[in-house]
Amino acid sequence: MDFRQEWITTIHDFRVDERTIISSLEELKDERPMTLLIPMLYDEIHGNSLDNIVDHINGSTYLSKVIIALAAEDEKKYVEVKNFFSRLKIPNTIVWCNGPTVSHVIEELKERGLDITMFSGKGKDTWISLGVASLDSYAIAMHDADVMSYSKLLPAKLFYPIVEPDLGFFFNKGYYARIDMDNLIMYGRVYRLLLSPLLNTLLEKTNYSSNFLKYMCAFKYPLSGEFGMTSDLAINIRIPGDWGLEVGLLAEVYKSTALKRISQVDLEFYEHKHRTIGTDSEEGILKMIKDITKSIFRNLVEVDGIDINEAFLQSANVLFKRIAQDRIRQYHADALCNGLNYSRHAEECMVEEFSRIMLISGKEYIDDPSGVLLPDWKRAISAMPDIRETLKDAALHDYNTYK
């Protein structure tokens, strides 16, 4: 455990008292309403996480509302999810993001000159649901639906720095240790072996002059899907529409608010499902790596004006592999001292594959540097002033129609 403070404020869990925080949130819930947003796929109602999540949410008396951002293939699956969440005691809304009613609203937005129909997946679902959540909330917190080590303290930690007037943060990012304590396995491969070495590579390549890269390096786990933010910030930032969602969101927050209004909070040990590596660069973790890498390159150009060309990529790739291999030696030492199962050979092989994908994604970025960002909600409201209310009505229509 450390107590360091860096570029952004870190809220450690030395002795966080659950009762004190939740009591404070209960006192603030009328003045500063809090909405919990959970993006999910239909299949996750059959997993081993959501039952526990629902039980703890029902005990979260400080919440004003829960919004489920659902991706489901058909009406039958929507109804199954609706029935599953009928146990929720907190007021809730299920937004069937790829359902026909919401899709009709998105088509109407297209007719107004703002086309987001080419987007799909978690980024688009998050965007839609953030719009609905921002209607009547002071703060919005989001986490995934596959958290196995869930308690009502988790969302409380995300909300507290945002809604507590004496703190006044606008954005709060969760971080945690990706250690499976049952099987003694160290996860977090994309962060450990790709993102962290890449950020440090680019920082060295820019002679440590990039404040954006220093900011990104200050996050202990930038790939976490858990965060809290004010509704005002939520409608003023763009949401990435690919698997670079978490990294792209941090970049947008950097461009939209002061560093002193950004924090990260310790969520302790945290267990959820692990993605497969994938057999090519268009699926699994390898697809994620491509999107993350492109997002970092794009924001480095946008924020610092760095010229990303073939020569830059080749030299960065050499430096990346050296830094990643240094990390492997460090993680091996950490794992050995803590009795964790760790294969240096497997990690070295992974770095080689990550390095290959990094070059591919870099060349694709050079060929097509256009972004995959959804518009901010301010623009959507300008194009269609009642779009948030219309989307909320669409969710209510689905709830009352499909039984």
Could you read off the pLDDT of 391-402 as tens digits, one per residue? 999 999 999 999
Q: Is residue 256 part of a domain?
A: no
Count of structural domains, the chain: 2
Report helix, strand and coil shares of the chain as percent, to nearest 5: 55, 15, 35
pLDDT score of 28 more than 90: yes
Residue 73: per-residue pLDDT: 94
Q: Is residue 230 part of a domain?
A: no
CA-wise closest residue to 126 among 41, 37, 251, 250? 37
Same domain assignment for residues 342 and 321: yes
Provide φ and ψ at 211, rounded to 5°: -70, -30
Q: Is residue 261 part of a domain?
A: no
Range of the structural domain that residue 24 is part of: 9-168+374-403
Average pLDDT of span 174-188: 89
Strand partners, 34: 139
Same domain assignment for residues 186 and 115: no
Structure tokens at 202: 């680019």
Could you read off the pLDDT of 202-225 as tens digits, one per residue? 999 999 999 999 999 999 999 999
Residue 165: per-residue pLDDT: 96
Residue percentage of the chain with pLDDT more than 90:
85
Residue 180: per-residue pLDDT: 84
pLDDT score of 98 more than 80: yes
Q: Which alpha helices (H) appear in 257-309, and where do they start and end?
A: 284-304
Q: Is residue 246 part of a domain?
A: no
Residues 313/300, Cβ–Cβ less than 8 Å: no
pLDDT confidence band for 124 (50 / 70 / 90):
very high
pLDDT score of 350 more than 90: yes
pLDDT score of 139 more than 70: yes
Amino acid at 139: A
Q: Is residue 321 part of a domain?
A: yes
Structure tokens at 127: 């965007």
- Which helix H or strand E contains 403, and what residues bound it? none
The residue ranges of DSSP E strands in 226-342, in sequence order, are 227-230, 262-269
pLDDT score of 101 more than 60: yes
d(CA 71, CA 81) in angstroms, rounded, equals 10
Average pLDDT of span 344-367: 94
pLDDT confidence band for 178 (50 / 70 / 90):
confident
Same domain assignment for residues 72 and 135: yes
Residues 401/100, Cβ–Cβ less than 8 Å: no
pLDDT score of 279 more than 80: no
Higher pLDDT, 284 or 32: 32
Structure tokens at 351: 């770095």
Same domain assignment for residues 383 and 349: no
pTM of the model: 0.94
Same domain assignment for residues 357 and 397: no
Higher pLDDT, 244 or 106: 106
| Most confident option among 150-159, 173-182, 278-287 | 150-159
3 state SS of 77? helix
3 state SS of 373? strand
pLDDT score of 297 more than 90: yes
Give the domain CATH number at 44: 3.90.550
Same domain assignment for residues 140 and 205: no
Task: Give me the helix-helix angle, 344-367 and 310-337, nearest 10°.
Answer: 160
Same domain assignment for residues 117 and 187: no
Average pLDDT of span 5-33: 95
Residues 6+ apart with CB under 8 A from 381: 235, 387, 388
Same domain assignment for residues 322 and 403: no
Structure tokens at 261: 């209004």
pLDDT confidence band for 277 (50 / 70 / 90):
low
pLDDT score of 2 more than 90: no
User: CA angle 89-90-95, nearest 5°?
Assistant: 110
Residues 6+ apart with CB under 8 A from 392: 93, 132, 135
Residue 272: per-residue pLDDT: 55
Same domain assignment for residues 67 and 140: yes
d(CA 31, CA 43) in angstroms, rounded, equals 36
CA-wise closest residue to 177 among 264, 266, 269? 269
User: Which range has the worst mean pLDDT, 61-65, 277-281, 344-348, 393-397?
Assistant: 277-281
Q: Is residue 264 part of a domain?
A: no
Mean pLDDT across the chain, nearest whole number?
Answer: 93
Same domain assignment for residues 215 and 154: no
Residue 283: per-residue pLDDT: 56
User: How far is residue 360 CA from its own chain's centroid?
Assistant: 24
Residues 379/113, Cβ–Cβ less than 8 Å: no
Residue 276: per-residue pLDDT: 54
